[in-house]
Amino acid sequence: MLPDTTEVLVIGAGPTGLALSIALHQAGVDHVVVDRLAEGLNTSRAGVIHAQTLETLEPLGVTGRLVELGLKLDNFAIRDRDRVLINLDFSSLPSAYPYVLMIPQNLTEKVLTERIAGLGGVVHRGVEAKEVLQGVDGAHVTVVQNGREKTISARYVVGADGMHSVVREAAGIGFDGEAYAGSFVLADVRLDWPLGPTEVSLLFSPAGLVVVAPLPDGSYRIVATMDEAPERPGIADIQALLDSRGPSASPAQVLDLTWSTRFRVHHRLARSYRQGHLFVMGDAAHVHSPAGGQGMNTGLIDAVVLGELLGDVINGVRPESELDLYETLRRPAAQEVIELAGRLTGMALVRTPLRRVLRNFVLGVVNMMPFVQRMISMKLSGLSRAEMAKLPASSRPGVRKQAMKRELKLVA
């Protein structure tokens, strides 16, 4: 049953909203999580978790389970059809998780939801937020459940509600950027793949890009650009994409299609992450090309940082003014991610022969420069942005020590 009041109302129960809920549970903060969908997604959607994200999720007690369910891959390769342009080896990353972890989003959400249940929490599904009104001491949110309206009053409201965020709009926060031309295809397939299940492959071609990544169940994730993709791409569509963009010496063969969809991609960044008692995170704060697999990762780290800050403020460890640290840390991180994804997408969409030759030459030179390869690996893994996930020490150290003891008891 939905309460009338709470300290924090989280709108959206995708990976970011679920991660924030875990952090708030561990801080002992009363909160409510709502989502308009009757149940969580049962399709894979986002499929990769990077090293820095796994490190950041450790305090939530979910990293071990995610690693257990996922597929560890050491290699990320950029190719122009049969030619390797650059090969990145993640096995030497300075992390306890020196790999790319392939795991479907539905499994990630399952792990996070089970952790919430283990902490005594619940996700309220089939609840749609219709209106958010901010006041002096908090906000009032009108929600609809089973056709009935209800108002929930909260000290803070967090929008984890995607690109068309009700919270962001209520806060009057601009969402600067634009849409990419064309559309993207997303599919999971059974595949006879000549490169094998040992690397994430980003393939360039005159026809556009295609990403092929193995998943834990033996299937492959396909992401590809397409001028006008069908609403539900079929086996023939995926086969055509791989025929025109994949290896030509040993062509791929699509054996079966698990599911598919199309989507349009924007590159946008919220002008601010906070307006008074309202916050945005994840896709409500930043969206970009899927190249590099950065989207969900950035949102999960948003959630951990914001969860710690809200817990500290509500528990009296930090003054409310330090909530601005969330934007100070996380907006620059999103800006870097948007630029990284944009560069990868821009390189992949080069069509003219001369520019393709120049791009391939530059990447070939990079492939012979270990220090540049390492720099790229650090960016893709998120480890180069590790400082953007670390809060400075509280300005109230005595109170902080007492709170840490309380949090340790809650985690245990």
Q: Give 130-178 pLDDT, tens digit per residue.
A: 999 999 999 999 999 999 999 999 999 999 999 999 999 999 999 999 8
Q: Given this model, what pLDDT does residue 291 score?
A: 78
Among 377, 340, 336, which Cα is nearest to 97's? 377
| Residue where a domain terminates, one of 263, 287, 316 | 263
> How large is the average pLDDT for residues 14-20?
97
3-state secondary structure of 109: helix
Whether residue 89 is contained in a domain is answered as: no
> How large is the average pLDDT for residues 182-196?
91
CB 27 within 8 A of CB 314: yes
Q: Given this model, what pLDDT does residue 38 score?
A: 82
| Residue where a domain terminates, one of 247, 263, 279 | 263
Whether residue 86 is contained in a domain is answered as: no
Among 283, 316, 260, which Cα is nearest to 7's? 316
Residue 208 — pLDDT band, cuts 50, 70, 90?
confident
Mean pLDDT estimate for the chain: 91
How far is 52 from 58, CA to CA, in rounded Å? 10
Could you tell me if 9 and 116 lie in one domain?
yes
Joined tokens for residue 192:
């006879």
Transcribe 37-82 into DSSP letters. SSS---S--S-EE-HHHHHHHGGGT-HHHHHHHSEEE-EEEEEETT
Tell me the Ramachandran region of residue 134: left when phi exceeds 0, alpha when psi lies from -120 to 50, beta otherwise: beta
84: number of CA atoms within 13 Å, CB side? 12
Q: Given this model, what pLDDT does residue 407 score?
A: 47
Which tens digit of pLDDT belongs to each residue from 41-71? 555 578 899 999 999 999 999 999 999 999 9
Q: Given this model, what pLDDT does residue 149 score?
A: 95
Could you tell me if 325 and 338 lie in one domain?
yes
> How large is the average pLDDT for residues 229-238?
90
**Global pTM?**
0.92
CB 215 within 8 A of CB 71: yes
> How large is the average pLDDT for residues 359-369?
89
| Residue where a domain terminates, one of 234, 263, 292 | 263
Joined tokens for residue 248:
């030509």
Residue appearing with tokens 């791409």: 233
Residue 206 — pLDDT band, cuts 50, 70, 90?
confident
Q: Given this model, what pLDDT does residue 400 score?
A: 47
Number of domains observed in the structure of the chain:
2
